């Protein structure tokens, strides 16, 4: 088996032991025009720092393209290239394949170079899911696909995506006089799907920038382990979620503490819940009610108590009924689903 898969050496990227050990050098710097309180911009900054200077970044269309790269004022210190909305998987594969073959043939200096392709939830969970899935099946190309999930097409005007939570008010699911809940689909379980569906993919993780050090160490592990890897980051978005920018970090913490956003990593098929999620699962801390999270955001302002109860019941189910709690929604028995009338 090993002879068929030829993984090139990767960079040695040990975890940062503490915040103070993180280097000061910035590889994603001024020149961008993201919103105040934008957590996705923080993902970019920390991702670039975690990866270091010998890295190629491919960015699919979305906020982190449109707001980050204006001609003549790029914020990227790393080599960066735009890729099409649904092409983060293909971009990662193409760049990685080129480096591999050019080094093998002696057309390029031998050196481990990180390849990262990022996408938003629209580009990843919707349009690009096929290409990401395909790339995760190619064991011999070193690359990381990072999905920054602000739960809507936030750059184009806040339209719902396959990653938007149930019931949220977006410009494509605006509550009206007759219908209160226009978005009646449950959020895609992207990281779980990628981990469960791609048995040779060596690393899949969820992160949140409210826990920045852990997120950066996740990225470093994803880049160093070899082969294609996937990270899903939940990014509170002041514009799309409708809240005051200063509570971005707090909302990220609430997403984790309510159990809505489980933090975990799947390394060589071994699942490990991480951070606060691990403590929730071990019953060392209690999940906070989802109400605390939902009511801080304007996108849920139209929710009735029934809606909040329904949301809570789905999160309870995730922790109490799923065979792999918080990760894989298989159950032993059929559960009735009774959403409130819209």
Partner 1 sequence: MAVATVIEEQKDKLDKTALITGSEAIAVACQLADVDVITAYPIRPYDTVMQYVCKLVANGEMDCEYIVAEGEHSQFEIVKHASACGARVFCGSSGVGWMYAMEALTVTPALRIPMIAMVGNRALDDPGAFGVEHNDALAVRDLGWQLVWVDNAQEALDTALIAYRVAEDRRIFLPLAISCDGAFLTHSQALVKIPSQEKVNEFLPQYNRGDLLLHPDNPITVAPQGNEDWVMEIRRQNYAAMERSPGVIREAYADFERIFGRSYGNPFFEEYMTDDADIVLMGMGTLSISVKVAIREMRKQGKRVGFVRMRWFRPFAAEELSKSLQRFAAVGVIDRDYSFGSPYAGGVLAGEVRHALYPGPGKKPPVVGFICGLGGREVTVPDVQKMAEAVYNAADGKKQPLTQWIGLRE
Closer CB to partner 1, 95 or 308, in the complex: 95
Question: Closer to partner 1 at the Cβ: 88 or 257?
Answer: 88
Specify the DSSP class assigned to residue 35: P
User: What is the nearest approach in angstroms of partner 1 to the Cβ of residue 328?
Assistant: 23
Q: How far is the CB of 201 from partner 1 (least distance, A)?
A: 15
239 or 276: CB nearest partner 1: 239
Q: Are strands 80-83 and 264-267 parallel, antiparallel or unpaired?
A: unpaired
**Nearer CB in complex with partner 1: 126/307:** 126
Contact 235, 241 (CB under 8 A): no
**Positions in the binding site for partner 1 (CB under 8 A):** 53-56, 58, 65-66, 69-72, 74, 76-84, 86-87, 89-91, 93-95, 97-102, 104-105, 107-108, 113, 130-131, 133-134, 138
Size (the chain), residues: 342
Main-chain dihedrals φ then ψ at residue 212, nearest 5 degrees: -65, -40
Distance of closest approach, residue 130 Cβ to partner 1, in angstroms:
6
Q: Are 161 and 116 in contact (CB under 8 A)?
A: no
Nearer to partner 1, 100 or 220 (CB): 100
* CA–CA distance, 312 with 330 (Å, rounded to integer): 19
User: How many alpha carbons fall within 13 Å on the CB side of residue 40?
Assistant: 31
Which residues lie below 8 Å from residue 135, measured CB to CB, with a gap of 6+?
89, 90, 92, 93, 141, 143, 145, 228
Minimum Å distance from CB 216 to partner 1? 19
- Give least dist CB 192 to partner 1, A: 20
């Amino acid at each position: 088996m090993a002879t068929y898969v030829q993984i090139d050496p990767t960079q040695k990227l040990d975890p940062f032991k503490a915040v103070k050990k993180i280097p000061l050098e910035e590889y994603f710097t001024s020149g961008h025009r993201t919103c105040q309180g934008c957590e996705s911009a923080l993902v970019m900054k920390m991702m670039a720092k975690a990866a270091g200077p010998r890295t190629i970044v491919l960015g699919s269309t979305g906020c982190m393209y449109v707001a980050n790269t204006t001609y003549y004022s790029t914020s990227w210190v790393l080599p960066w290239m735009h890729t099409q909305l649904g092409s983060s998987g293909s971009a990662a594969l193409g760049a990685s394949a080129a480096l591999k073959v050019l080094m093998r043939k002696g057309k390029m200096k031998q050196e481990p170079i990180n390849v990262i392709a990022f996408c938003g939830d629209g580009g990843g969970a919707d349009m690009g899911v096929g290409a990401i899935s395909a790339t995760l099946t190619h064991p011999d190309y070193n690359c990381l696909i990072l999905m920054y999930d602000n739960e809507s097409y936030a750059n184009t005007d806040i339209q719902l995506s396959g990653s938007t939570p149930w019931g949220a008010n977006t410009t494509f699911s605006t509550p009206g006089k007759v219908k209160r809940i226009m978005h009646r689909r449950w959020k895609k379980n992207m990281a779980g799907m990628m981990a469960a569906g791609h048995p040779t993919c060596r690393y899949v993780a969820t992160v949140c920038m409210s826990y920045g050090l852990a997120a950066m160490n996740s990225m470093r592990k994803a880049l160093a382990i070899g082969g294609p890897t996937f990270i899903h980051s939940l990014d509170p978005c002041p514009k799309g979620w409708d809240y005051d920018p200063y509570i971005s970090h707090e909302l990220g913490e609430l997403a984790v503490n309510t159990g809505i956003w489980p933090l975990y990593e799947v390394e060589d098929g071994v699942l490990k819940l991480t951070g606060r999620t691990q403590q929730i699962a071990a019953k060392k801390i209690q999940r906070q009610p989802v109400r605390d999270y939902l009511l801080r955001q304007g996108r849920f302002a139209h929710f009735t108590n029934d809606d909040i109860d329904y949301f809570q019941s789905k999160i309870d189910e995730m922790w109490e009924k799923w065979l792999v709690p918080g990760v894989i929604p298989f159950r032993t028995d059929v559960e009735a689903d009774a959403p409130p009338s819209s």
